[in-house]
Structure 1
Amino acid sequence: MTPHFLPALVNPPFGDPGLYVDFLFARRAVLFDLGDLAPLPTRKLLRVSDICISHTHIDHFIGFDLVLRIMLGRDKEVRLYGPSGILRQVEHRLASYSWNLIQSYPTEFVLTVTELHPDGSAQRASFSSRRIFERENQQELMLPEGVVLDEGNLRIRATFLEHSIPCLAYAFEEKLHVNFMKNRLAELGLPVGPWLSEVKRAVLRGEPDDTLVYPAAAGEERPASGWTIAKLKEKVLQVVPGEKIAYVTDTAFTNENRRRIVELARDADYLFIEAVFLHVDSERARDRAHLTARQAGELAREAGVARVLPFHFSPRHLGAEAELRREVNLAFAASPLQEEESG
């Protein structure tokens, strides 16, 4: 399956948390958390359309200023999602600067902020450079099942976790993955052209299988006879569940958090999950409301993910990166019986 998205941690595992998900076939990206963003070049930050904040501890939100500075002076809209209090915090952050020159800019930067609440309700408001970033267009809404973004073939869901304060974990989901097998196209004498994208869109919209499409290369006239979507599915199309990427950080290892994480990350292709402490420091992890490396691996195994990628290692364990990764991988690979025997 040809991937459509490329997820990568912004920093090494001992650095600030952050995940950058690049769209391989569109000039777009989604960013999870705003820690130190220095490793991301301007061209990558300008691709960002949506930012998902787990919580606003400084190592997860200090990068807000860099995003703001890069977006100013450009016609750009960015959507930001976060937990209770994020609207007030963004508003205060914007109000901390003097904006006496900004109204002379010929461009408009708009930041639309959605504040999530544990009961499924949310508040949304926008801040425009044209109006000196005053809060406007505020609305109340409900977000069933924690879905913060649902557009076309993309969905982003959030769930609340406990980290002494509320903290959000996210799942980025491609609803369906549609691929053409180019060798089959050639065998059947079907051309490559814009009609392929049209077929993909029709499948993602749920068009009936008897819908006719007319294969033609760019600039060619439409052929007299068409193909049904059902026939294309049989001969040249692969339609499978889409890619899923889960992002989990800063959470206590409680029964409720465990249930929510496993439900959110179920069958993910990638689980990016904090592994802050070695398991020998499990009491310290509990006191700090963080996960140990073994706990991260257990959660990945319970969720049935394909890959687990740990991050947010504590500086306490500098020099022990290999051991942290080993603990995660052993727990991820362990059977329930092995886990019980290891205590």
Structure 2
Amino acid sequence: MSARELVVLGTAGQAPTRVRNHNGYLLRWDGTSVLFDPGEGTQRQMLHAGVSAPRIERICVTHRHNDHCLGVPGVLNRMAQDGPGRPVTLHGPVDAFEHLRGLAVVAQANVQVTVEGVPTLDEFVPVADVAGSALTARALDHRVPAIGYRLTEPDGTTFSAGALAAAGISGPDVGRLQREGELRGVRLEDVSTRRPGQVFAFVMDTRACPAVAEVVRDADLAVLECTFAHRDLDLATSRGHLTARQAAEAAVAAGVRTLVLTHFSQRYDPEDLGREARDVVAALGGSTTVHVAADLDVVPLPGRAARSSVPA
């Protein structure tokens, strides 16, 4: 199987700094790539990161604020240069449809661009199939309509070679057993174990709300913004953002395995925000690993593990 990993292209909140570019996050997933929230300068960051533009099949935008989408024209032009004529689908909230279509028109790139508006609902809505995994989205709570994305691989089955041999099942009969659930008195569960599908989640600008935990529930890797420290909670709430403590609380409650913090206000040292989040994980007795993102980081999805028993 091809690598499943997150390539961080930018981590700044609202304004870039000397060491942090505007947003940009590329997910490599089974031979394809999905680009999330490409802010200004993403095209250049892709060159630094060695990202292959022609592999990008989808660009997913969480909302219409420009620090999350102004890089779209440059990315489309890079795609046209490296793989002319290739199709790409641009997803975003219905509220952002005209804005995203305008950015695609401005690019005047030789790529087949389809812009699709995603309904902003308080429930998950289907967005696309990504290499056999389901990409869905649901509404969050920002100053403009915003959505969080969730990519879920279907659960699978891992067979025990010894159990199959003992049951006298081999060759095409293995597939038949998997399809039918029972064969010659042997049940599927007698010779196999359930393999949970992996989950990736992406949450950008939002206030703390129950939807955050829903989007990241049981995620192997979840990207969450943490624009502010919790001492500035009032400011975070008024501007429609999360604090590092709130991001960590949501991740622990949802059973996230690896939490990637990003979208940092330049008023903070991001490592301080990381410490705030790790303190929360420890205080809650959670097992979530906290990664403070830096530009050009590559964060692999952790190896498969049983899902948590976090209540829905």
Tell me the TM-score normalised to structure 1 length: 0.67
2: CA distance, partners of 1:43 / 1:240: 30
2:233 pairs with one of 282, 285, 289: 282
1:83 pairs with one of 93, 100, 108: 93
1: CA distance, partners of 2:159 / 2:2: 13
- Code of the residue aligned with 1:293 in structure 2: it is A
User: Per-residue CA shift, 1:222-279, capped at 9, x if unaligned?
Assistant: xxxxx99967x755x65411110111111112xxxx2111112111111110111111
CA 209–307 in structure 1, closer or farther in 2 if over 3 Å, else same: same
Tell me the TM-score normalised to structure 2 length: 0.73
CA 6–94 in structure 1, closer or farther in 2 if over 3 Å, else same: closer
Count the aligned residue pairs. Answer: 268
Q: Which moved more, 1:83-92 or 1:27-36?
A: 83-92
Q: Which moved more, 1:84-93 or 1:60-69?
A: 84-93
RMSD over equivalenced CA pairs, Å: 3.5
Shift, 1:179, TM fit: 5.4
2: CA distance, partners of 1:98 / 1:67: 11
Shift, 1:45, TM fit: 1.9
CA 113–94 in structure 1, closer or farther in 2 if over 3 Å, else same: closer
* Aligned counterparts, 1:157-168, within 5 A: 157-168=136-147
- The gaps in structure 1 that reach 5 residues or longer are 103-108, 121-143, 189-194, 212-226, 337-343
CA 98–175 in structure 1, closer or farther in 2 if over 3 Å, else same: closer
* Aligned counterparts, 1:151-300, within 5 A: 153-178=132-157, 207-209=179-181, 239-253=194-208, 258-300=209-251
SS in 1 for 2:145: strand
Percent identity, please.
Answer: 27
1:49 aligns with 2:57: yes
- The gaps in structure 2 that reach 5 residues or longer are 13-19, 166-171, 286-312
- Code of the residue aligned with 2:31 in structure 1: it is R
Which residue of 1 is the match for residue 308 of structure 2? none
CA 81–304 in structure 1, closer or farther in 2 if over 3 Å, else same: same
Larger RCO (CA within 8 A; separation ≥ 6): 2
CA 94–325 in structure 1, closer or farther in 2 if over 3 Å, else same: closer
1:68 aligns with 2:76: yes
- Computing the radius of gyration over CA atoms, which structure comes out larger, 1 or 2? 1
Which residue of 1 is the match for residue 28 of structure 2? 22
1:39 pairs with one of 41, 45, 64: 45
Shift, 1:166, TM fit: 0.8
* 8 A Cα contact 1:15 1:312, kept in partner: no
1:10 aligns with 2:9: yes
1: CA distance, partners of 2:247 / 2:113: 34
2: CA distance, partners of 1:163 / 1:310: 18
